[in-house]
Amino acid sequence: QVQLAESGGGLVQAGGSLRLSCVASGVTVNSYVMGWFRQAPGKEREFVAALHWGGVTTGYADSVKGRFTISRDNARNTVWLQMNNLKPDDTAVYYCAARYGSILSYERSLYRYWGQGTQVTVSS
């Protein structure tokens, strides 16, 4: 079975950086798409970034383009989300997600597996 574990969240000032990690078990290279989503209190969970595990194609929400970078390390079975120039609006619980397939997807409902989330708080 697929299990995901996020870490790396914390408190940072606006303009600062954080790197989130997601360690995935049960995910086979070339068969899964990985994604990052976030959810603020009272808001719906929204797409942040996605990556095909076995490829190089990536996708980003417009709100984070140029600031966030998703990457992978197949040997360590880990996906990272590097977040730079953080803004208060980035404050949310960030979730790692996975879906079986080979086509990049930004749709939350298509992801079957989810981590427990890690809190990111950006102060003004």
Cα(52)–Cα(29) distance, rounded to whole angstroms?
9
Amino acid identity of residue 49, one-letter, is A
Question: Of the candidates 84, 81, 105, which has an alpha carbon nearest to the alpha carbon of residue 95?
Answer: 81
Confidence of residue 75 (pLDDT cuts 50, 70, 90): confident
Q: Give 27-48 pLDDT, tens digit per residue.
A: 877 789 999 999 999 999 999 9
- Sign of the C-alpha dihedral computed for residues 83, 103, 98 and 113 taken in this order: positive
Question: What pLDDT shows up at residue 87?
Answer: 98
Report the chain's mean pLDDT, rounded to a whole number.
94
pLDDT reading at 103 higher than 90: no
Cα(98)–Cα(33) distance, rounded to whole angstroms?
6
Cα(106)–Cα(96) distance, rounded to whole angstroms?
13
